[in-house]
Structure 1
Amino acid sequence: MKRRIILITAILLFFITAPIIAQQYKLNVGDRINISVWGHQDLSKETIIDPDGRISYPLVGSIKAEGKTTAEIRTELQEALSEYIINPEVSVNLISYRKLRVTVMGEVRQEGSYEIRADNQVLDVISLAGGITENAEAEAAVLQRQGKKLNVNLKELLRGNNLEDNYQLQNGDQIFVPEQERLTASIQGEVKAPGQYELSYDKEIRLNDFLAQAGSLTENAGEKIRLISNDKPIEFDVEDTLAAKKKANPIVQDGDSIYIPSALEEVTILGEIARPGSYEWNENMRLANLIARAGNTKDRANLEKIRLVRNNNEIQEINMQKFFEEDELTANPKLQPGDLVMLGEDDSVDWTRVFFMFGGFNKIKDFFGW
């Protein structure tokens, strides 16, 4: 249905604007025109604009036609013929346009190269290509011409607005219609199908339905759900979310990260470590013990800025270099169940990259995890 509306809109716009385009069209090499003078059949002729952009006409000789409208040619011929004919009535009509070839790529029904008439505009070619797809970012189309890029708002054009974006096309033009940016959210931890899921532009999804989409919870799931939205953690009771209680069942937004912790006592380490993941906690475990169990750090690990996220969301920055060099115990803290350790590289951690990189770990913890 949407496709039919787009095509009908494009066709209607063509019929509305076509007469105006023909009057404003500037002639070019290869166009065929008909010239006639009322009462002088011998002066009527069809001619093609030659490679030099000129036409030849009786009594007048060679005149420049390229870049002029038919009305301008008519005026010029009337003035020239008035030396030979009293009040000559000249008409100049465009018989056929030269052929051009343009390319349409991206989110259209039929990508490819199209032969078009010289008066064709952007919407004409979009129509030839079957219209745009449902995934098109219609506001951000681009017309590329001789190394220059012209922005085209197809969304407004198809509504009959921004007609200045409906450029008259030239040979070799390329039109690209980009794809809409995908809306996604991710869920990890104790769910049966962890991973990244695409969100709909048109339909909202709430947290309980998003959990169902991920196969619901495993038998090891804890009692809490952690939603990280705009880098801010929000915690909900699992039972309240599953019962669709309003305060515990928000709409899932683009970029949200959802984590379902385990009911088991574990600690997690991620980042520049040989074997990132979750490990069983014991009451004597310290940070150095966890690093050793995880296969030790990688060469790029920044030991001076290790981030320890406690179960209560307290974030501590640990300089473990002091423990190794000065045997400072505060730089080798005891760990608690649910702790998350992040080992960064070059003084920073790309939290989103790490979150997705280790999405296969069923016990993964995100930036504000346990």
Structure 2
Amino acid sequence: MKIMNLCVLVLLSVLLAGCSSSPPPLKDDTTVNAEQYLLGAGDTVNINVANQPDLTMRVVLDNSGAINYPYIGNLVLKGKTASQVDAEITQRLRKGYLLQPMVTVNIAEFRKFYVSGEIENPNGYAYEPGMTVEKAIALGGGFTDRADRKDLSLRKASTGELLKNVDVTHSVHPGDILIIGMGFF
């Protein structure tokens, strides 16, 4: 009888260990708004100087993150906010070119993040400030029938780190890759 009770206890402990809950999803609240957004390769930027059509342009940043801007030459945009670029162009144009330049710099299109795995439309999508895993899934058309809705991983572009079991409220940043796992049942 003691052996039978011991076997039942061992069997129950094995079964309970298999039913243990998975760790809670990783949460994150590091969303980026448009004023804090740092420009990088793949962003499309509009530069407008009032009443100066030769100084108004739309550029897509390459990997160098710099452009050759009329009159002032090399201008690095990568790693700066739109308002920082605005201030720099204004300041540099004042030095011998325009008395009171009225410069506006804005982001026409953010660089992409990517959604792959068991999603209806795996692809790259333009980042939007406040992007979350849930919004990224919606942009990708939602889960496929085979998707494991709890197997959500995120490869961070900034570090290359793979975060597993992320929550749907976790933020997604430009260049990140969201991976939707496949369910087996």
Which TM-score band (shorter chain)?
0.5 to 0.7
Partner of 1:176: 180
Following superposition, the deviation at residue 30 of structure 1 comes to 3.1
Alignment deviations for residues 43-91 of structure 1 (CA, whole Å, 9 cap, x no partner): 2222232331111111211111112221111011111112132232210
Is 1:57 aligned with 2:93?
no
Secondary structure (helix, strand or coil) at the match of 1:29 reads: coil
Tell whether the 8 Å contact from 2:115 to 2:137 is kept in structure 1 after alignment: no
Under a length normalisation based on structure 1, what TM-score does the superposition of the two structures give?
A: 0.34
Q: 1:47–1:144: structure 2 CA closer, same or farther, 3 Å change rule?
A: closer
Amino acid across the alignment from 2:44? R
2:75 maps to 1:76? no
Structure 1 segment 93-104 matched on structure 2, within 5 A: 93-99=106-112, 101-104=114-117
Q: 103, 110, 116: which one pairs with 1:90?
A: 103
Q: Which residue of 1 aligns with 2:172?
A: 167
AA in 2 matched with 1:141 = L
- Alignment partner of 2:167 out of 140, 149, 153: 153
In the TM superposition, residue 170 of structure 1 has moved relative to its aligned partner by: 0.9
Letter of the 2:38 partner, please give it.
Answer: K
Greater relative contact order structure (CA < 8 Å, 6+ sep): 2
Q: 2:54 aligns with which of 30, 42, 64?
A: 42
Question: What is the RMSD computed on CA atoms of the aligned residues?
Answer: 3.2
How far 1:38 moved relative to its partner?
A: 2.1
Which residue does the alignment assign to 1:114? Answer: 123
| Unaligned residue ranges in structure 1 (runs of 5+) | 1-16, 158-164, 183-370
Separation (CA, whole Å) in 2 of partners of 1:118 and 1:175: 16
Which of these residues, 126, 134, 141, is aligned with residue 130 of structure 1?
A: 141
- SS of 2:86's partner is helix
Instruction: Call closer, same or farther: CA 1:35–1:130 in 2, change over 3 Å.
Output: closer
Q: Residue 73 of structure 1 aligns to a residue in which SS?
A: helix
| Alignment size in residue pairs | 147
With normalisation by structure 2, the TM-score equals 0.63
Deviation of 1:22 after TM superposition, in Å, equals 3.2
Match runs of 1:1-370 below 5 Å: 21-84=33-96, 85-99=98-112, 101-105=114-118, 110=120, 113-119=122-128, 121=131, 122-132=133-143, 136-137=149-150, 141-145=152-156, 147-151=160-164, 152-154=166-168, 157=169, 165-170=170-175, 173-177=177-181
- State the identity as a percent: 27
Max Rg structure = 1
Partner Cα distance (1:36, 1:129) in 2: 33
Q: Which amino acid aligns with 2:105?
A: V
C-alpha change, 1:169 and 1:51, in structure 2 (3 Å) is: closer
- Paired residue for 1:348? none
Name the SS of the counterpart of 2:104 in structure 1. Answer: strand
Tell me the secondary structure at the aligned position of residue 175 of structure 1: strand
Q: Report the 3-state secondary structure (helix = DSSP H, G, I; strand = E; otherwise coil) of the residue aligned with 1:42.
A: helix
Alpha-carbon distance, 1:150 to partner? 2.2
Stretches of 4+ aligned residues off by more than 6 angstroms = none
